[in-house]
Amino acid sequence: MSTYWTTTNTPAGPFTMLTDADETVLASGWTTDVPGLMKLARLSGTPEQRADPGVPLKALQSYVDGDLAAIDGVAVRQRGGSFIAHAWDVLRQVPAGAPVTYTEFAERAGRPAAVRAAAMACATNAAALFVPCHRVLRLDGTLGGFRWGLPVKRWLLEHEAI
């Protein structure tokens, strides 16, 4: 499988996407570290630079411009166990502007007692933004952690609160 990468600027900083030939997002985040994203997504090989990955880049640009639902239809493929994969699907159903707590996320994923497993789904998510783990907050409403930094998470939540 061929892997492609592109980096573009966003108000929250440089954003890099790894995609396949079909424009499915394999990994993404606020970084320029392509090898780091490859490792995060557990991909091997040397990705090729692609100036325009089509649908994912257009969706990102529309999202930044205020169409918060633009990212919802972008195809994503990640590697994970059955609960983690299901939890990532559940994350994609959390609407922009309506963040949930880790407890609520675990409930929505069908395992209310599995709050730590829900948190692990966020921590291992390689497709940031397209699988919006930034929409999950601590029980007290604080931001908690985010692989790409709390300033990015804060920007995303403020952008989505409009």
Q: Quick check: is 122 catalytic?
A: no
pLDDT above 80: residue 14: yes
Residue 154 falls inside a structural domain: yes
Residue 8's Cβ-count burial label (10 Å; 0-12, 13-18, 19+) is middle
Distance of alpha carbon 107 from alpha carbon 114, whole angstroms: 8
Total domain count for the chain? 2
Residue 145 lies in a domain: yes
Q: Return d(Cα 140, Cα 151) in angstroms, integer.
A: 18
63 and 89 share one domain? no
If asked whether residues 57 and 19 sit together in one domain, one would say yes
What are the tens digits of pLDDT across the range 47-89?
999 877 789 999 999 999 999 999 999 999 999 889 999 999 9
Verify that 95 and 149 share a domain, yes or no: yes
Q: CB neighbours (10 Å) of residue 132? A: 24
In a domain, 77, yes or no: no
Together in a domain, 62 and 90: no
Q: Which residues contact 69 (CB under 8 A, 6 or more apart)?
A: 96
Taking all residues of the chain, what is their mean pLDDT, rounded to a whole number? 94
Question: What does 3-38 look like in DSSP terms, one character per residue?
Answer: EEEEEEEETTEEEEEEEETT--EEEEES-S-HHHHH
Answer yes or no: is 115 within a domain: yes
For residue 144, name the pLDDT band (cuts at 50, 70, 90): confident
> Do 103 and 156 fall into the same domain?
yes
pLDDT (0 to 100) of residue 50: 86
**Claim to verify: residue 11 and residue 61 sit in the same structural domain:** yes
pLDDT at 141 over 90: no
Q: Are residues 56 and 118 in the same domain?
A: no
60/96 Cα distance (integer angstroms): 14
Residue 14 belongs to some domain of the structure: yes
Q: Are residues 38 and 86 in the same domain?
A: no
> Is the CB of residue 74 less than 8 Å from the CB of residue 27?
no
SS3 assignment, position 87: helix
- My answer on whether 98 and 125 are in the same domain is yes
Write down which residue in 42, 71, 100 finishes a domain: 71
pLDDT, tens only, 88-132:
999 999 999 999 999 999 999 999 998 999 999 999 999 999 999
Confidence at 162, pLDDT banded by 50, 70, 90: confident
Write out the residue range of the structural domain in which residue 14 sits: 3-71
Structure tokens given for 122: 């966020």
User: Are 94 and 151 members of one domain?
Assistant: yes
2: Cβ contacts below 8 Å, ≥ 6 apart? 20, 21, 47, 48
Confidence of residue 145 (pLDDT cuts 50, 70, 90): confident
pLDDT at 8: 95
Check whether residue 58 and residue 89 sit in a common domain. no
In a domain? residue 76: no
Q: Residue 51 domain-assigned?
A: yes
Indicate if 89 and 65 belong to the same structural domain. Answer: no
Q: Which residue in 18, 119, 133, 156 is the catalytic one?
A: 133
